[in-house]
A and B are shown apart, each in its own frame.
Chain A
Amino acid sequence: MAEKMIEFRNVVKRFGEAAVLDGLTFDVEKGEILAVVGPSGTGKSVTLKHIVGLLEPDAGEVTVATDRIGYLFQSGALLAWKTVWENVALPLVETTRLKAGEIDRRVAAALAAVGLADDAAKYPAEISGGMQKRAGLARAIVCEAEVILYDEPTSGLDPVTSAQITRLIRDVNRTRGVTSVVVTHDLGSAFRIASRILLVKDGRAIVCLTPDEFRRSENPEARAFLAAAEGEGL
């Protein structure tokens, strides 16, 4: 049995009356890519925020085996008044005592890894949405994150850029052994890169299966979700 990186045990989270997470249980193994799919508003983003500690569960337990967690927000969440280079360097400049030369070396390596070496001097407003996400990923890489959480990394991107980002997620996972949790609406990319797919609905885990098992699953919810996604032209 592989080592567990993240564990959710009967996690409940309420906002007001409504329970957004309602007894969510799943785990993520070290080094795998877990895709989280499900209808909008079922608490997928809320789940990621529990992993990184932005939210605390009302009941149940969340355990994460590392504190080096990167989080790729939908918008990239870069600082508008800093260049791509400065944004990626920011966590090193602000939270470490590394020498300037070492920071430069690491930032250059991270930018090269996401293919942004030539755009380092630009400001976030001057680059495309896909590039902003790659810059956000470089910022997670530069901190040597052991877990990276992706919140809808390909939504709002054209198919070519989507495929690029999907490949990048897989490359970062393979070359750096980064455990990855990818919330996505893009079932195609989930099937391509995920080691397992977690279907969440109404704040509960419905099934957690490998892509092949998921395709052949008899579970009615999984079938319904798959059919709906295929109806959208998968």
Chain B
Amino acid sequence: MSSILKPVEAVGWAGIVAAKAVANFPSVLCRRTGREDLFRQLYATGIRTLPVVTVVSLFMGMILALQVGLELARFNQETLLGAAVMMTLLREMGAFCCGICLAACVGSAIAAELGTMKVNEEIDALVILRIPPMRFLAAPRILALILMAPVLAFYCCIIGAVGGGFVGATQFNVDFQQYMSGAFVMSEAKDLYVGILKATVFGFLVGVISVAEGLGTTRGATGVGKSTQRAVIVSFLAILISGYMVTRLFY
């Protein structure tokens, strides 16, 4: 009984967090202190993710170029390498790399931070001071992830494309200039939009899941560890499942 109810409860709680956080977005943007918090979160999101996301997307691009290049080489179509790599990045892998890096670097940090605050009674203290945690803590963090995810996903595509170009030039004798022009000329606006949309969805999901896990923490320091772990695992699952569904919707 309880094993069936637990996931239902968890989804319900995440839904409540999502609804309350979104309802508080206007007050984050309208208040000076809210905007300051938002900028601090945007900065933290970018800084925490940038090193990892750079390496991940660089190698993702290189792997893609290697795999695709080997197939294209069989038909002497290496000139299409840039276009093929860029399309894969825009449609799928850019947003995906960005999503998993956000979950690992930012989602985990949010769950740990809010979980620690919960077990230190700081959340209770805020409630008593009449500062709603959903407005003060949840909304700026989730909004920062929603805003930052598409930017980072675009960055992933560019870095990945460069990585692919490097592999193209060194392994398949594809001129870098030619590769890049192929990548940009042949890529479609729709691919970019879908990728950006996907990244935004990932940012939202990682934010909601991490905040819900953090604020739902019980049982002291071990509870914080559990919440952090669950925030990352559930975010990964949500990214994969929602990524498939967005792709289904548009292609």
Contact = CB atoms under 8 A, between A and B. Distances in A.
A182 interface: no
A91 B124 contact: no
Interface stretch (A2-10, A74-82, A113-121): A74-82
Interface in A44-67: 49, 52, 54
Interface size class of A (residues with CB under 8 A): 20 to 34
Q: What is the interface of chain B mostly: helix, strand, loop, or mixed?
A: helix
Interface in B89-143: 117, 120-122, 124-125, 127-131, 136
Contacts of A70: 128
A73 B124 CA distance: 9
A150 interface: no
B121 A77 contact: yes
B125 A73 contact: yes
B33 interface: yes
B129 A143 contact: yes
A95 B129 contact: yes
A93 interface: yes
Interface in B181-238: none
B131 A94 contact: yes
A114 to B, nearest CB: 16
Interface size class of B (residues with CB under 8 A): 10 to 19
A70 B136 CA distance: 19
Q: What is the interface of chain A mostly: helix, strand, loop, or mixed?
A: mixed
Given A69-B128, A71-B128, A78 B136 contact: no
Contacts, number: 41
A90 interface: yes
A54 B128 contact: yes
Nearest to A71: B128
Greatest chain A CB density within 10 A among B122, B124, B127, B129 is at B129
B129 A90 contact: yes
Greatest chain A CB density within 10 A among B33, B128, B136 is at B128
A95 B131 contact: yes
Interface string A90-103: 11011100000000
Contacts of A134: none
Interface string B162-197: 000000000000000000000000000000000000
A152 to B, nearest CB: 12
A144 to B, nearest CB: 12
A49 B123 CA distance: 13
A215 to B, nearest CB: 33
A196 interface: no
A77 B131 CA distance: 14
Given A52-B128, A94-B33, A74 B136 contact: no
Given A70-B128, A73-B121, A94-B136, 10 more contacts: A54-B128, A71-B125, A71-B128, A73-B124, A73-B125, A74-B121, A77-B125, A91-B131, A94-B129, A143-B129
Closest 10 CB pairs of A and B: A77-B125, A91-B129, A73-B121, A94-B131, A77-B122, A71-B128, A77-B121, A95-B130, A75-B120, A52-B128
27 contacts: A49-B124, A52-B128, A54-B124, A69-B128, A70-B128, A71-B124, A71-B125, A71-B128, A73-B124, A73-B125, A74-B121, A75-B120, A75-B121, A75-B122, A77-B121, A77-B122, A79-B117, A79-B122, A90-B131, A91-B130, A93-B33, A94-B33, A94-B136, A95-B129, A136-B125, A139-B129, A143-B129
Interface of B: 33, 117, 120-122, 124-125, 127-131, 136
